[in-house]
Amino acid sequence: MALIVRIDVDRPYGREPFLRHVASRVSSDFWWPRMESLGYLRELKEMLRWLNERGARSYAFFRRCTLPDESVLELMDSGQHVIGLHLENSRSFKTFLREKEDLERHLGRRVHAFSKHGSGGRRFGRSHYAPYEPVKYVDWARKSAMDLFLGNLEDPTLEPEITDGLRVYPSAFWLEPSWRDTGRFPLEWLVRRAKETDIVLLVHPENVLASSDLAADFQTLTGAITTRIFP
């Protein structure tokens, strides 16, 4: 059994320092050019290099403001990672399709997996629709012939649902402790669980790279536990 590594690419320029934080916010709400000098997707690139060094594979989910540039695509392709949509505007099936098609047009290839930006409540960006409605997303996945939806619930004991070629993992083991019951689900629990069944490990590059402890945990887990991508 294995880890399903889920990377949600939320911020094009991370959180720090202040100028990069501002660039991330403006990119999300309006537009900001992709600037290598400012470290566009710098945290994601570092994370992909770690994975590639270990022969570990992942799913990386992109917003409209974090579309992969050529250097990210090279790292993704060399490590045989999978690109997915990180859905923002989930108001309707129409807005879902628009985001999916925008990403596919950027990539020049089909996208078969997606996740949702935000878990309900707070609004993260001008185009973000905050409610979290997974039943709708599963229906949209079927209508658009996608084969994987990774959900945002915080109970990693929940079992996946697999029907008619669509895999739905309703929950994840969030590496960042702010979204995890660390007493009930310490890292040791994840290691044991991954020996028994496939389990989603959810990370955000800007958070993991901002903490030496989280960075070390991520590298240890992805180096010690087999990762998998579905065919």
SS3 category, 169: strand
**What is each CA distance from 102 to 6, 70, 82, 97, 142, in whole angstroms?**
21, 17, 17, 8, 19
Smallest CA-to-CA distance from 71 within 34, 123, 126 is with 34
Q: What is the mean pLDDT of each run of 10 residues along the chain (231 residues)?
A: 96 88 84 88 98 98 96 98 97 97 97 94 81 97 97 97 95 96 96 96 96 97 96 88
pLDDT of residue 30: 87
pLDDT of residue 186: 97
Side chain identity, residue 113: A
CA dist., res. 107 & res. 101, Å (int): 10
CA dist., res. 16 & res. 183, Å (int): 29
Q: With residue 141 as reference, give the H or E element that holds it.
A: helix 134-143
CA dist., res. 52 & res. 54, Å (int): 5
pLDDT of residue 58: 98
pLDDT of residue 5: 98
Could you state, in order of their start, the residue ranges of all structural domains in the chain? 3-224
pLDDT of residue 57: 98
What DSSP state is assigned to residue 74? H
Q: What is the pTM of this model?
A: 0.95
pLDDT of residue 37: 82
pLDDT of residue 125: 74
Walk across the sheet containing 113-116 and list its strands: 161-163, 166-171, 148-153, 113-116, 82-87, 59-62, 3-9, 199-203, 173-174
**What is the token pair recorded at 62?**
């992109």
Query: Which CATH architecture describes the domain 3-224?
Result: Alpha-Beta Barrel (3.20)
CA dist., res. 60 & res. 167, Å (int): 16
Smallest CA-to-CA distance from 214 within 74, 50, 62, 52 is with 50
